[in-house]
Structure 1
Amino acid sequence: MHNYNFIRVGSASPTIKVADIKHNEECIINLLSEGVKKGISLLTFPELCITGYTCQDLFHQNALLEEAKKSIERIREKSTSYPIFFVIGAPLELDGQLYNCLIGICEGKILGIVPKTYLPTYSEFYELRWFTPSKENTSKTFKFNNDEIPFGTDIIFVHSKLKNCKIAIDICEDLWAPIPPSSFSALSGATIILNGSASNDIVGKSVYRKKLIEQQSARTVTAYIYASSGYGESTTDVVFGGHCMIYENGKLLKENTRFTLSSSLIYEDIDLEVLTNDRLKRNTYYDKSITKDYRQVTFSSTIKEVALERQIDPHPFVPKDESIRSIHCEEIFSIQTLGLAKRLEHIGCNKVVIGISGGLDSTLALLVCVKTFDLLGIDRKNIIAITMPGFGTTDRTYNNALSLMKELGVTQKEISIKEASLQQFKDIGHDPSILDVTYENVQARGRTQILMNLANKENGIVIGTGDLSELALGWATYNGDHMSMYGVNGSIPKTLIRYLIDWVSSTQVGENTKAILLDVLDTPVSPELLPPTDKGEIQQKTEEVVGPYELHDFFLYNMMRYGFSPCKVFMLGVKAFENIYSREIILKWLKKFYYRFFSQQFKRSCLPDGPKVGSICLSPRGDWRMPSDAVVKIWIDELESIN
């Protein structure tokens, strides 16, 4: 997995005893050993975990300070054979001042020491009573057993073998400052922030703490690994819950259960490529005017080849949580309706023309039109909805189209395209018994011609129905369903359209309309351009021709959102769809995806206007600018190399 820039990181909260350094040391070593068995390559411990955070004036006792240094040395020796980079917290004296430090160690070598920048001295905190802020330090090194160890807040630990594994350190209150030190280290290249903390728990604090880490991880585009003190700290006045969390670019990947009597260890596989590719896209990310000079401390450790345990979402466009999904659907539907409302208002138009097939895309587009007209106070009868039965139209889709138009109270029209298509076949000399692309596209373009001409007659505009998944694959007839005067679905993938219609059926319409919408959802996706079966059922099923849309939406998201290589998209797809699709099937459709994505760009280069609703959009005026004659060879060659 590490060939794809994954690294397993962990957060540990040992059960400690205040000032019982040997006990704490044993807990730390046990957690380190367990972490190595789990394949963890980076591990964070809480601040002052060697002594305990709550030693108070015992921090001024030389016996405690000397034993803490001895413990660091013992931990260093015992971890020599451990292929893991970890940080532990201890008080260290330098130049007559005491600092609250995190010490970075890897395979028996102390790599660097980072002192705490912001020392809280308010409410229950009194750190300035014992410790000195990092800004008071002038020394660049700390002499430890005759070794000069880099010391300071200007250190980034860089793995020599794993690309873009660059680690910086925050300590507790540093996160709570208006500008955390990790902001500067991230701008200087750090991709992973380790925060050893001792944050006590009071009601509501954990929620606020999570928001801070979420925001800092998102703003800095980093993985943020947080470990806080837990059971065993003094409870004279406060209690420490042992909160451990792992975030990646603002997303919580793993969190432990607080308030336990035992030590805690969590881990997750971080994708460094997600972070670096996001930074590549954001030209506002790096601001050289506020970056600082950092010392890079290079280290090398064995990155264990372990099976990826991270959960890969097979449907990245669709939130798993129903409440979040409902909120997203409401937002998307509002964006669609507001976009259409603005367009109609701007051009002084109060009529729209839309083709209704009884399928998913046209159904959603019609629902958007109805909501928009209600919003603008325009009679729904000004929505001219047309069903245009052709050679492949089935009774199911035809009846659903008619019923839906009737229930929604729009103007209904029916214009068969059969005779016009036969005439077109005659005009161009095509044998209608040959069911090829000409046979299909004559019908598709004929429908669009009807819509455009009727829009002229009614002084309205044609509303496009095509979706993002179809645009990615080029699954649209050029100057047929490819074209409109405003496309409301253009940045919505097929996998999400289903949930949007389901949301509308549950929240926006009556029971009769809901029943129709649910049957539309249950209908196979098809352009219905080929004749139905002898039983009158849909014969031409899109996903049997181009592949499952859930696969193509997964490919599209990971290719465009993160810029992943074809092999990485394949590896993630195998993980996401294990027990659903075989490796061979995933590889087959991934090749098809790249072929079609590259060859069909010319259709995307002249798309009609339409609102962007999510992070992926293929508009040539917005997110995606690609030459129509780009060659796909590099991408296919990589896939051909897969065994």
Structure 2
Amino acid sequence: MSHLITLATCNLNQWALDFEGNRDRILESIRISKEKGAKLRVGPELEITGYGCLDHFLENDLYLHSWEMYGQIIKNPETHGILLDIGMPVLHRNVRYNCRLLSLDGEILFVRPKIWLANDGNYREMRFFTPWMKPAVVEDFTLPPIIQKVTGQTIVPFGDAVISTLDTCIGAETCEELFTPQSPHIAMSLDGVEIFTNSSGSHHELRKLNKRLDLILSATRRCGGVYLYANQRGCDGDRLYYDGCALISINGRVVAQGSQFSLKDVEVVTATVDLEEVRSYRASVMSRGSQASLSPVKYKRVKVARELASQSDRFDPYVAPSSDRDAFYHKPEEEIALGPACWLWDYIRRCNGTGYFLPLSGGIDSCATAVIVHSMCRMVVKESKEGNVQVLNDVRKICRMDENWEPKDAQEIAGKIFHTCFMGTENSSKDTRQRSRELSKVIGSYHVDLNMDSVVSSVTSLFEVATGKKPIYKIFGGSQIENLALQNIQARLRMVLAYLFAQLLPWVRGIKNSGGLLVLGSANVDECLRGYLTKYDCSSADINPIGGISKTDLKRFIDYASREFDLPILKEFLTATPTAELEPITNDYVQSDEIDMGMTYEELSIFGYLRKVEKCGPYSMFLKLLHQWSPKLTPAQIAEKVKRFFFFYAINRHKQTVITPSYHAEQYSPDDNRFDLRPFLINPRFPWAAHKIDQVVKQCESEGKCDLDVMTVD
């Protein structure tokens, strides 16, 4: 006998502190869920406030407004007839909790606080909330007076409970709890819970989705049951992009999956599942029955005198369980094309911007940034043609067009909102200027091509008049400090010119009622890590879509985009030598990024991963690379590379304190303000670590080999 029930989860593009907008998107998701016949709807973590409110979670106003919005939601008759799982912060006995509120027909069933909080990497939940450290314990919670008037209730259960309907049992998990070794769903499953909801605020990182999906599928593969995963999607006001991918699984199989990257503000994912499959799956594993009978955790059941699966659904021959499907993953180059593009779209539409300005150098980094903007424009056109009213209204507003205008292609949008500029000097090559011009033409940006030698000369002349000294480049006999100063003048002047043009180009073009353009940065994660950029140069911008992406991944993305977007010009960027073009070009000398840095971009990615993800200092990094890079490199060569990396990383740490806010896409991002909290004044020689490294090198050289298993280094 089948026991069919339709369930709904969703991706919502919520925005921090956008209470009314967040409310309306929640209401829309409930309407769609009911329209599809769902009996349970689960939404993202903290969906009423938006997940990324940060220190606004410390403000009492936020809790008041959350209850006001929640009251408006559950008193609306259109939200009745479906079990709702909604996320918001709650004050209980003067303690702040990250909670789920479960309700039915305008009545709150119970409030479930989060037990295990995310408190590493980009997350600081312990700064704002307290974990509920009482497993399976429930207390009385007195509802605020404004909610008492709505529901007619005074007291509701608060704590670690589950819902028991006449035909099934439902438990709630929140984001981080899925990632913990002893997830709540394990004990809940042993106590008979059949349906698990998980409300998340999980951000995008390259190659991360498979870990998340594997955890969801393994949860129900081991325990049996139905798992509904909901996630926030979009930029809610900071460096992170929440990548959706709402999912429904049963017994380790995927039956529904939402999109990972999309411009849709509301996406509802539904599936019809057979609860008899859960019961059969669990009963077939005898050891599970033994564990269930011995499990010490018994949850309080909040009873609901109703069946979630209607009789008509259970016996309707035309209603069938949703079919299995394979989990879908984007390739990393597709993730780069879509994630930062969605982030840029949310940013420009929510800040009421006029458009973007990008210094286009002719190198691969600014090229990749421009192509991401092009990808954004492509996505906007696609959504507009598919009837996405929100996107169409937003693009008309940004482009200053009337209500009848519809964009015909990505180039038309770019021509109105995307501005690029090649800021050449006598050190610039014809090739980079030409590549910039041709790229701007094919993607449709409004392009300016200028020479700034007169500005550079004015600054150097001013210095000469004031000091009586004239700096000259190293290749003409100058010192290293003169050489760097002359390069930095050009780089910093480009930043000044970028903001000048960003403010005035809309005025030049006669765009009425417009503000300035947002300036885009284009320093990749490896350059930021190494500090291979000038402080307050044109890497200083309003936002940076590639600041968390490696040079290696950017090359793969450009290769992909050349084919997928039909942009053959991109092949020329791939074959060009990376160069800052800040020094004179002669018959014998062309400046090269990797030669300047003393290490390759591939090596930088490895250093970054070992430093941040594997938590290596200089000594442990050296030992790891001794295994990996021998015998291709000698111990002395490996030691020199490691010391060189940490030296330049350390002396340039101060640059990370003012780095442009960047799209977070890589686990080894050096973002000082949120992700990578390290001091910016440290001894760059790391003398004790260097001493230990030298000992290992000496021992290797004296023995003629390196056997780390028998090392005797103190």
Give the TM-score, by structure 2 length: 0.43
Choose 1 or 2 for highest CA Rg.
Answer: 1
Give the TM-score, by structure 1 length: 0.48
